[in-house]
Amino acid sequence: MIELTIAVKNFPQILTKAYNQTLNVSSTAILTCHIRDLGEHHVTWFKHDSSTFLSYPLTVGKELFTTDKRYSISSYSTSMRESYWSLEIYQLHLSDEGTYLCQITNRRATTSVPIFLHIQIPMILSPSNLYVEPGTNVKLNCSILIDNENNQSLLLPINWFFLSNQFNKTKPDDIHVRKRLINNSLNSYLIIHHAQTYHSGIWICVYRRQRRTAKLIVEKDVLQRQRISALLSNNSQRHSSLSNCLLFIMCIVYYRLLFV
């Protein structure tokens, strides 16, 4: 869909350019149109139906043309010429995703701008960093929140991918994926039995347009090296604090001797 403008003299301008907005399910969308010289004309909001290629009106001016109580319209002016018109949608559903059109029209002219609204489901991959010894069983959990209004999320899979700088020696028997619904959360568990060094890399879970990554390091004595590194870091910090303290004391002694 493209911006449509058929201009005539003294016809209002839509200063907003086409843009994308991505929001989570259950959040609030505020789609705003910046208008110049609206005068006696009306701003109309449409939603485009991609299945029929038709657009149906949601609001005309401040009048709602939908029975869905989640919709509202608001406007304000910053000068005699400039005004802002916002279509607000509360408690977003997946079905609210699509193209919305801000339009001003009369018998002689029309101008419009599309706004693309993308709805995503909150998604978490945990743990995001994991360091283990060879032979350890590993479990990564990729979870998404189910939209209670429409359970399309149950129909779409959560897919897993693996990126590594090593030759991929992973065997089908190494990896198991389990899907489980817990309350209003859909969980996909990636399970690696007896993880080996060639399982080290970036594991990615993908749902629709979203992706989350987890770094897995499988290495012998990796935990011991981490503890040693943390210990050395703490010792370094303590030595630094001690040095600063001694320097401060020496400065006090010096100034006292100087002014005695």
In this structure, the answer to whether residues 55 and 127 fall within a common structural domain is no
Q: Domain of 128?
A: 123-218
Residue predicted with more confidence, 243 or 18: 18
Q: Are residues 161 and 140 in the same domain?
A: yes
Same domain, 128 and 115: no
Check whether residue 73 and residue 108 sit in a common domain: yes
Same domain, 191 and 139: yes
Please tell me the least confidently modeled range out of 103-107, 127-131, 160-164, 239-243. 239-243
What b/e sequence results for 93-124 when a residue is b if at least 16 CB atoms lie within 10 Å of its CB, and e otherwise? bbebbebbbbbbbeeebbbbbbbbbebbbebe
How far is it, in rounded angstroms, from Cα 214 to Cα 126? Answer: 7
Cα of first residue to Cα of last residue in the chain, in angstroms, is 84
Q: What CATH number is associated with residue 137?
A: 2.60.40.10
* Residue 229 reports pLDDT greater than 60: no
pLDDT at 52: 81
For residue 137 the two structure tokens come to 């069983």
Give the pLDDT confidence of 38-92 residue by residue, as tens digits: 999 999 999 998 778 888 999 999 999 999 999 999 999 999 999 999 999 999 9
Taking only the tens place, the pLDDT of each residue in 159-186 is: 999 987 666 666 656 889 999 988 888 8
| Number of other residues whose CB lies within 10 A of the CB of residue 197 | 13
Same domain? 147 vs 111: no
In a shared domain, residues 33 and 46:
yes
Question: For 90-102, how does the pLDDT look when each residue is reduced to its tens digit (9 = 90+)?
Answer: 999 888 999 999 9
Provide the mean pLDDT of the chain.
82
| 256 within a domain of the structure (yes/no) | no
Amino acid 2: pLDDT:
46
**pLDDT score of 121:** 85
Residue labelled with tokens 């590993």? 138
In a domain, 19, yes or no: yes
Residue 229, Cβ density class (10 Å: 0-12 exposed, 13-18 middle, ≥19 buried): exposed
Alpha helices in 82-221 (DSSP H): none
Percent of the chain with pLDDT over 70: 75
Question: For residue 75, what pLDDT is reported?
Answer: 95
Are residues 206 and 168 located together in one domain of the fold?
A: yes
How many domains does the structure of the chain reveal?
2
Angstrom distances, CA of residue 17 to CA of 31, 172, 222: 12, 49, 52
Question: Does a structural domain hold residue 195?
Answer: yes
**Residue 135 within a domain:** yes
Q: What percent of the chain has pLDDT over 90?
A: 52
The reply to whether 237 falls in a domain is: no
Average pLDDT of the residues in 17-42:
93
